[in-house]
Amino acid sequence: MSKILFDIGHPADVHFFKNLIWEMEKRGHEVIITSRRKESTFQLLDYYNFDFIDLGINKKGLLKKAIGLVGTDYKLLNISRKFKPDILTGFASPYITHVAKLIGKKSILFNDTEHAKLNNRLSIPYSDYFVTPSSFRDDYGEKHIKFDGYKELAYLHPNWFKDEKNTLKELDLKKNEKYFIVRLVSWQASHDVGYKGLSKDRISELIKTLEEKGRVLLSSEYYDKNFEDYYIKLHPAKIHTVMNHSVMYIGEGATMATEAAVLGKPSFFISPLSGQLGYLDELERSYGLLFSFKTIAESLNKIKDVLESDFTKQWNEKKNRMLDEKIDVTKFMIDLFEEKLN
């Protein structure tokens, strides 16, 4: 059987690849996982009992990222020479594309972020297969494979997603208690350079508005003592269960905005990146599952309008229509890898 190297650089990558890894192992393929320390990535890998090789910490700042790129390439090259993978894969991972070229093997590069110009320049030209949602706006020719779905449907599609038991009890949430998820990001990623997020005053204003309707749970890439009472104190593997029972999502995180949308929750993406991501635009324009705004001030009236409406049935219908039209992304990936390994 064949050998596959999975490179994990972000917590979302663990969710994206986990079902594929398990399924490829069931089919007899040998798998190795490399990873870098970013937020809860290692926690998630441990939670799902994945063995992995630590490649170090994701660097902050362009200069450190540049130095880190060379260092990580070198580490991954040494690992690959020993493991001898037939295919290297990752999500927006320039490292796997560089190393695959150096060892004469194939790379399958996944991505959904058009505006990550630097990362895309460092990775896409060197990939053998470039795989994105069909909503991805750019075209990279023959090697560009598009699938009719979103990366979040690799783990939140009904064929794969199940609630984690006792999650709501851990947060002391009562049955049918209304609560909202608010997400803040650190703006330290390479594709976030030059952007800044919500101010403390705006976050406080949003929380105050939402508390009139229910409890507020805060997920954040950084800590601020002013919001201590709102932080979700829970293993990160359980966040999708929390999201699945929430009233609404409001936040700066594009991945979590999409996760909420595909779970059928009204999702508000508030970010200076509004309008720059094809998959978010599609969820908004084609399905009405998501709303995108550049500022909280612009979003508040729409948030209030949705909360005052009888939206639950409406959003379930929107979700079901989306699921009818989109694919099981993990099944697509299994078929893709089996094809490229033969």
Report how far residue 327's alpha carbon sits from residue 174's, in angstroms, rounded to the nearest whole number: 34
Residue 150 clears pLDDT 60, i.e. is over it: yes
**Whether the Cβ atoms of residue 22 and residue 100 lie closer than 8 Å to each other:** no
Residue 193 clears pLDDT 90, i.e. is over it: no
Q: Compute the chain's Rg from CA coordinates.
A: 20
Helices (H), 124-182: 167-170
42: confidence class by pLDDT, cuts 50, 70, 90? very high
Report how far residue 23's alpha carbon sits from residue 9's, in angstroms, rounded to the nearest whole number: 21
Domains (range + CATH), the chain: 3-149+327-341 (3.40.50.2000), 167-325 (3.40.50.2000)
Percent of the chain with pLDDT over 90: 85
* Three-point CA angle 43, 269, 94, nearest 5°: 50
Q: What local confidence, expressed as pLDDT, does residue 278 receive? A: 97
Helices (H), 163-272: 167-170, 200-211, 239-244, 254-262
Report how far residue 131's alpha carbon sits from residue 112's, in angstroms, rounded to the nearest whole number: 8
Q: What local confidence, expressed as pLDDT, does residue 301 receive? A: 93
pLDDT tens sequence across 242-294: 999 999 999 999 999 999 999 999 999 999 889 999 999 999 999 999 999 99
